[in-house]
Chain A
Amino acid sequence: MTPSLVLAIAGGVLIAAGVYLVLERSLMRILAGVMLAGNGINLLFLVASGPAGLAPIVGEPRDEIADPLPQALVLTAIVISLATGALLLAMSYRSFQLEGHDEVADDVEDTIVRRRAQADLSSEAYVEPDSSAVADTESGGRLVLDEEGDPTSADAAEVGR
């Protein structure tokens, strides 16, 4: 089948503009980029669906209708773009409300991990198997008196709920 060049170019330009904006730090510009790129991708769906035609409705001549499957895919994509767009908008507003701007800062958790890596430390979640742990299971019963899986007295209230 033969693709339509105009549609492909329009889609490509939209995606290029979208990628350019998505690489920003301002959430609002990212939002604009996502919307442009989303539209561009939807256009490429049209390119992939072959030549233009009549509306895909039973009753129209069978050989002249446009391919309905990409249309169904794009239809839900439009609605989802709207929903994610609104979510980004709300995030941006919330960011202005808290910070006075909507620029995405570097991730704090990632910075912590990077510092730990530079200091040759293990992750925060990792607990060293210390000697007391061995005593827990291998020496007397005293240490593991509340082993029975009954929560310790401090937790009884929580379980009672």
Chain B
Amino acid sequence: MALAVLGVVASALSSRMGRFVFLAPAAASLVAAAWFGAHGPAVAAGAVLQERIEWMPSLGIAVDLRLGALQWLLAMVVLGVGGLIFVYCAWYFDSSKLAPRTVGLLTGFAASMLLLVLSDDLIVLTVGWELTTVFSYLLVGLNHRSASNRRAAQTAFIVTTIGGLSMLIGIMLLESETGTFSLAETIADPPRTAMAAWAAALMLVGALSKSAIVPFQYWLPGAMAAPTPVSAFLHAAAMVKAGIFLVAALSPAFVELPWWRWGLVTLGIVTMLLGAVRAMRQLDIKVLLAHGTVSQLGLLVTVLGIGTHASMQAGLTLLAAHAVFKAALFMVVGAVDRSTGTRDLRELGGLARRMPMAATAAVVAAASMAGIPPAIGFLGKEAALDAALADADGGLAALGWVAFAGIAVGAALTVAYSLRLVIGTFFGALATEPKRRSPWLVVAPLALAVAGLALGFAGETMSALLHPHVELVRAGEEAPHLALWHGFTPALIASILAWLAGTALFMALGARRRPPHGTDLLERGYHAGMRGLDRLAVEVTGRIQTGSLPLHIATIMLVVVALPGSVLLLRVRFGDSIRLYDSVGQIGAAGIIIVAAVLATTTRGRLKAFMLVSVVGYGVALLFLLHGAPDLALTQVLAETVFLVVLVLVLRRLPKYFTDRPLRAARWLRALLGAAVGTIAAAASVVALQSRTARPISEAFYESAYEFGFGENIVNVTLVDIRVWDTLGEVSVVLAAATGVASLIFVRRPVAGSAVLRPTPGGPGRRTWLRGAFADAELASPVLEMMTRLLFPVMMVVSVYFLAVGHNLPGGGFIGGLVAGIALAVRYLAGGRDELLEAVPFDAGKLLGAGMALAVLGVVWPVLIGGRIGQSYALEAVLPLMGEVKLVTTLFFDLGVWLIIIGAMLDFVRSLGAGIDLHGEQDVAPRPEYGSDRSLPGREVTA
């Protein structure tokens, strides 16, 4: 089984080999089919092959593959018929115009279909089910430039997905009753509760939508927008059988539900007759076949719905028969379409002489469809009529007769549209001369047609193969063995009558060439529903989403005040255990912060406001330190400093004052809202701690930091080991933000960005402390240059020191990276962008990328040596001179963090410093107007 999936994946990758690439999955499928075929005798003997891979053990979900008789039949259909369709594809598609994704999608579909039929776990089955839906959507919409194709794909997708969701709910309900997701166990011991009946009904909705049974039938004819081999595979042989498969699989468990038999038989007959009547009216022979498929699926549901031994055997035989003959017919239609360029019955006729092989395949396959001996279609239909009659004799008289009559009428109509197809296309006067011929195109349909004929003589073997599943149904008498000749039975009489009636019907109506008119009521209903949904979305969005940012945020904040706030006010009692302060310093720092924050909200000066914000930042750092968090204090001070530098660099180009907004009333409302939110947040944090009952999870960190993380700085060990996934996500955010800053400044990167990385020609041209110093001596400050020359190496050493000791002392990748960032900023301030280029002569993206790669590798690598993701190891060695040295492997992760932070800082300084300088030189930067709160916009960056 794994072999099939493997072959499928390999071929999906090599989609550039031209059309013959289809032969690879064809070979894989056929080999796998042979493998399954070889297991046939064992399956017939009742053996069950199983393979189990745990997936989500905690939820009881496993990839549990199980090969019983039913699964074997479906797998043979998917792989055998599918393999031949792949062969056909190799000659059907043109290499030059073949969309590369076609082969990948088709093989992906084959794999997911196999997963669907082989899985015993209902959740995994659903996964396969939904995957086939997705692949069907993509394949129907293969030509995505046509609006009607897109809509057909969407309709098919939505209808089957709604069914799939209903099925998933059903599965969940069922699991709550049985306690297992296993299909086999559910069937072995079916629950009899009302809840289980609901579950069965919901799952049935999924099955009916997938198999295009009324009221869901309208998606299938639309899906004919797909290429013909796709239609043959998905919408005739395999995918639409998934629903039938589910009905067959669930029948043994639920057939005794009061509505099961009547519901299925009624819907089946309606679908069968509706599809057949529609098929008679079509002019496009492919769409004719599609309606024929709808009709045949209705027949399958009818037969399986009878729910006895005999009907199960008949239904499965018909399933195999339908897969074989319908795929063959579709492929013949594709061949006709390929050679004549049309599928319109008005332009077709008399092709038998020009395409004898195709005509033979079509006649044989259509004979099977019409149920003419000795084809397998006849075998199945006779068995179905027999089964219905046996029921009529037994306890289910009314149901049996209804089914019998329905199947007989359906058979007559089937004969009529089969004749219409074959005679209209291949006999009569020649209408369109075939333009190109490909003998290879006929191989696969011919093989299938012959197989259909041969299977007709293999009734005995079929009975034996299907027996293990048939006997699961606990109703009806022992099924009679399939055979071509049972004697002169009522079923045979009904068949003969159906042939005669069908031929007569064809004589009367078959020559009509009126285009079909009118639309499907159900389809119209579907479209009306979709339109209503869209209108509702527009109305709701139009009312709720006003597009005003302050209004949206205010709404969110109001909800915060209204919901958690009112709960806090009404339901929660404040405890009386509260400390006023931890230390006197805390009061001082908090006082400064509060004053600065309030002033920051009222000031109009841009620089002043941000200076006050910085005061708050440093004050918070002081509070961190007083609280016993040196790492935090260090990080906060460094981050605040970097931000201040970057901020001042940008403020050079912005107006001195904020815009003054005149709405006084709104200002008071905002202040009120802000105060309310702040009060609630503070009160909530106090109450949360007072009502805490559990012990902090971090109490164990004290031991585990050293035992698992091999470090003494618990905060750092938490970052790089205990919560390493968090940290990985957070540095990704930093990376994204840095890239965003760079892209906002260097809008046209290749032009403007590279100028930053190009040194100004000539260099400073004077003796300086720095090689990249300003050329203009007016700008340069010799003291700053000298200090930079001396300070930069020292700061970098400090940065590396923080990185190295971070595991045991305050420090780490974040702090080290920020120190390096300040060092870079100093280089920039002293010498401008040339000096920054001297410091880092390459793009910041390289640092970010290398850091990210290192960080991910640092998390994942233990898997390679058999550890867990994120596991740490300590390497200890005794070196001469240095004594005992311990290297903890998380250092590599921290190194990645360090690189990312340096890269981000470099991006900030280079974009907001050097990039804006460059804008100024190119005259594209905004110019603040004197005494105004506006700027003159810069020209658009063009070069």
Contacts and interface: CB of A to CB of B under 8 A. Distances in A.
Contacts of B623: 7, 10, 43, 46
A157 to B, nearest CB: 11
B643 A82 contact: yes
B531 interface: yes
A11 B688 CA distance: 15
Given A32-B613, A39-B616, 17 more contacts: A1-B689, A22-B553, A23-B550, A36-B613, A39-B617, A44-B682, A56-B713, A78-B639, A79-B901, A97-B919, A98-B937, A110-B547, A114-B541, A115-B542, A134-B519, A137-B148, A142-B342
B677 A68 contact: no
Which of B145, B146, B616, B646 lies at the interface centre, i.e. has the most chain A CB atoms within 10 A of its CB?
A: B616
A38 B224 CA distance: 56
Contacts of A129: 151, 527
B642 A82 contact: yes
Contacts of A101: 659, 933-935
Contacts of B688: 48
Interface in A13-31: 13-26, 28-29
B521 to A, nearest CB: 13
A135 to B, nearest CB: 8
B620 interface: yes
Q: Main SS of the interface on chain A? A: helix
24 contacts: A7-B627, A14-B593, A17-B597, A36-B616, A43-B620, A58-B706, A71-B718, A76-B719, A76-B726, A79-B639, A86-B738, A97-B937, A101-B659, A110-B547, A113-B542, A117-B541, A120-B535, A138-B282, A139-B283, A139-B284, A140-B284, A145-B341, A145-B342, A159-B98
B705 interface: yes
Contacts of A73: 726
A70 to B, nearest CB: 8
A14 B681 CA distance: 10
A78 B934 CA distance: 31
A121 B531 CA distance: 10
B593 A10 contact: yes
Given A3-B579, A36-B613, A67 B698 contact: yes
Contacts of A98: 937-938, 940
Contact of B715 (A18, A75, A137, A147): A75
B628 to A, nearest CB: 4
Contacts of A36: 597, 600, 613, 616
A155 B696 CA distance: 62
Interface stretch (B68-76, B241-249, B259-267, B650-658): B650-658
Interface string A54-74: 111111001001111101111
B734 A83 contact: yes
A113 B230 CA distance: 38
A91 B597 CA distance: 24
B674 A16 contact: yes
A104 B547 CA distance: 10
A151 B143 contact: yes
The 7 closest A-B pairs by CB, nearest first: A117-B542, A16-B678, A12-B682, A110-B547, A141-B343, A140-B344, A149-B142
A150 B143 CA distance: 7
Interface of A: 1-26, 28-29, 32, 35-36, 39-44, 46-59, 62, 65-69, 71-76, 78-87, 89-94, 96-101, 103-104, 106-111, 113-118, 120-123, 125-129, 132-134, 136-142, 144-152, 155-156, 159-160
Interface string B724-742: 0011001001100110110
Nearest to A108: B547
Contact of A140 (B283, B550, B590): B283
Given A2-B577, A68-B714, A89 B647 contact: yes
A57 B682 contact: no
Which of B609, B617, B629 lies at the interface centre, i.e. has the most chain A CB atoms within 10 A of its CB?
A: B629
Contact of A48 (B341, B601, B610, B689): B689
Contacts of B92: 148
B642 A44 contact: no
B531 A122 contact: yes
Contacts of B643: 35, 82, 85-86
A150 B97 contact: yes
B734 A5 contact: no
Contacts of A132: 148
A86 B715 contact: no
B431 interface: no
B522 interface: no
Given A66-B627, A93-B653, A117 B227 contact: no
Nearest to A41: B681
Given A3-B685, A5-B579, A25-B661, A140 B342 contact: yes
A139 B677 contact: no
A104 B654 contact: no
A73 to B, nearest CB: 8
A27 B502 CA distance: 76
A74 B636 CA distance: 10
A58 to B, nearest CB: 4
Contacts of A42: 620, 632
B606 to A, nearest CB: 6
B681 A149 contact: no
